[in-house]
Amino acid sequence: MSGKILIIDDNKGIRQSLELMVQTEFDEVYALSHPGSVISTIREKQVDVILLDMNFKTGINTGNEGFFWLHEIQKTDPDISVIMITAYGDVELAVKAVKEGAFDFILKPWDNHKLISTLHAALKLRKSKLENQQLKQKTENLRKELNPESKSIIGLSDAMKQVMEMVKKVAKTDANILITGENGTGKELIAREIHRLSDRKTEALVTVDMGAVSESLFESELFGYKKGAFTDAKEDRIGKFEAAQKGSLFLDEIANLNLNLQGKILTALQSRKIARIGSTTEIPIDIRLITATNRDIHKMVDEGLFREDLLYRINTINIEVPPLRKRDNDAIILALFYLKKYAQKYDKPSLSLTNTAEEKLLRYSWPGNVRELQHCMEKAVILADGPLLDEYSFHLSENQGKAESELLNVTLDEMEKKLIMSHLKKYNGNMSQMAKSLGITRPTLYSKLKKYGL
């Protein structure tokens, strides 16, 4: 068997006999005449199984030495399988040793087949314990990967203080939370903070970008599948709902789902059960749901694009994350944070901002919000030639920023309506020229004019 065994017995004949017997059963066999160096041997050789005599002094059969070294071994490595060697008259001591943690005992003289069988069982238990340890470590590593140490949410503005007060209030509850706000405002960071402060923080926060999940893969990603459920289902796989069991499930950009997929989410939330594809067995789910969107979801409900019953289900508490342009001087606080971060990363620790640079950063509207500011600071640090970052270190177009900011706050329908209105004015109502310029047919143009009341 693939393992290492250590034999400890002061009787040379017994020791050699055991060595000879087990050398074909283990990869490596070690032997000691006295347990004095057992701890160092364990640490150096990474032993799996130990055969330990209970008495080492002539005429003394109390078993105290055996108990002492059993306990020392357990302190060093509690997963090692220890088998006690004892004479027939000391069975009661051996039984006591088993109660105190020994795997088993063998009696002198021993039965070879029984001894080998006991050794195999001891090694199997040792391997099982090590596998469990590895599994626990992998699970912990996965939990940390899914649930990394929360970054500080930076900001001293009244707007952010109100957000954080709300986060602290709702985190300890199991209420479903909808986080709204523009792109780049830090909605996922807020979700992670809610989970970190919740009673579910020791379990995973599982994040799903709903905008990146195709309709064809939706059910398999969220609900999982059984082996053989479809052509590529080579093995059973759990979905995101199961992965978040006892923890939190964060569905980002939930407004990107079509009505059909919204219905499937609603069904799972109402029943608190899911079934994998290819299975009729319902699996109870125990999750805390957090969702987020950058769209006006209430307007989508009015337009029939989002289910009102699903909105009620996900929107027990709504947290609106303010855009950076409405966060007073937080832009400078964040800029200094990212300056320090990237100055260390790119080995430029002496960098600082000039007053004119700070003024420029405060004037800019930041249509991409915190995410844009972060990328802006990283680029400035990389390109910096001296110790100061001034207003010329940041290539920001205020007009472009305002335009982009406006675009982020309108829907596709609103943009389309504005485009058609501009073409109406440009071509004085000439439908043929308008349709040609817009790249659509005249019937389609008429349909859109009727839709927008133009």
CATH code of the domain covering residue 100 = 3.40.50.2300
Judge if 354 and 302 occupy the same domain. no
Query: For the packed helices 431-438 and 412-426, what is the interaxial angle rounded to 10 degrees?
Result: 130
Whether 26 and 1 have beta carbons less than 8 Å apart is answered as yes
The pLDDT score that the predictor gives to residue 64 is 84
Q: In this model, does residue 171 exceed pLDDT 90?
A: yes
Phi and psi angles of residue 245, each rounded to the nearest 5 degrees, phi first = -50, 130
Judge if 340 and 443 occupy the same domain. no
Could you tell me the CATH number of the domain that includes residue 344? 1.10.8.60
Whether 19 and 7 have beta carbons less than 8 Å apart is answered as yes
Judge if 237 and 117 occupy the same domain. no
Judge if 285 and 167 occupy the same domain. yes
Could you tell me the CATH number of the domain that includes residue 441? 1.10.10.60
The residue behind tokens 């250590």 is: 6
The pLDDT score that the predictor gives to residue 434 is 83
Phi and psi angles of residue 159, each rounded to the nearest 5 degrees, phi first = -60, -45
Judge if 125 and 177 occupy the same domain. no
Burial 299-331 (b: 16+ CB within 10 A, else e): ebbeeebbbeebbebbbebebebbbbbebbebb
pLDDT, mean of residues 348-354 = 92
The pLDDT score that the predictor gives to residue 228 is 86
The pLDDT score that the predictor gives to residue 149 is 55
Within a domain: 144: no
Within a domain: 167: yes
Judge if 167 and 274 occupy the same domain. yes
Q: In this model, does residue 321 exceed pLDDT 90?
A: yes
Judge if 193 and 100 occupy the same domain. no
What is the Cα 243 distance to its own chain's centre?
10
Query: Tens digit of pLDDT for each residue in 58-113?
Result: 656 677 888 899 999 999 999 999 999 887 667 788 788 889 899 998 888 888 89
Phi and psi angles of residue 27, each rounded to the nearest 5 degrees, phi first = -65, -45
Domain count for the chain, please give it.
Answer: 4
Judge if 36 and 129 occupy the same domain. yes
Judge if 310 and 381 occupy the same domain. no
Query: For the packed helices 187-196 and 158-171, what is the interaxial angle rounded to 10 degrees?
Result: 40
Within a domain: 254: yes
What is the pLDDT of the chain when averaged over all its residues?
88
Least confident of 3-7, 165-169, 298-302, 447-451: 447-451
The residue behind tokens 């079934």 is: 275
Judge if 337 and 384 occupy the same domain. yes
pLDDT, mean of residues 225-233 = 85
Judge if 305 and 167 occupy the same domain. yes
Q: In this model, does residue 412 exceed pLDDT 80?
A: no
Within a domain: 12: yes
Distance between start and end Cα atoms, the chain:
83
Whether 34 and 8 have beta carbons less than 8 Å apart is answered as yes
| Domain end residue (candidates: 288, 320, 352) | 320
The pLDDT score that the predictor gives to residue 423 is 80
Least confident of 100-104, 292-296, 299-303, 409-413: 409-413
Within a domain: 32: yes
Least confident of 16-25, 146-155, 200-209, 266-275: 146-155
| Domain end residue (candidates: 396, 426, 443) | 396
Nearest to 289 by CA among 252, 344, 329, 332: 252
Within a domain: 273: yes
Within a domain: 401: no
- H or E segment to which residue 106 belongs: strand 104-108
Count helices and strands (H / E) in the chain: 19, 14
Nearest to 417 by CA among 403, 392, 438: 438
Q: Which domain holds residue 433?
A: 410-451
Helical ranges in 326-392 per DSSP H: 330-345, 355-363, 369-383
Least confident of 61-70, 162-171, 202-211, 366-375: 61-70
What is the Cα 293 distance to its own chain's centre?
20
Judge if 210 and 270 occupy the same domain. yes
At residue 403 the predicted structure's pLDDT band, cuts being 50, 70 and 90, is very low
Could you tell me the CATH number of the domain that includes residue 309? 3.40.50.300
| Domain end residue (candidates: 320, 337, 359) | 320
Burial class (CB in 10 A: 0-12, 13-18, 19+), 263: middle
At residue 285 the predicted structure's pLDDT band, cuts being 50, 70 and 90, is very high
The pLDDT score that the predictor gives to residue 399 is 52
The pLDDT score that the predictor gives to residue 133 is 85
Within a domain: 147: no
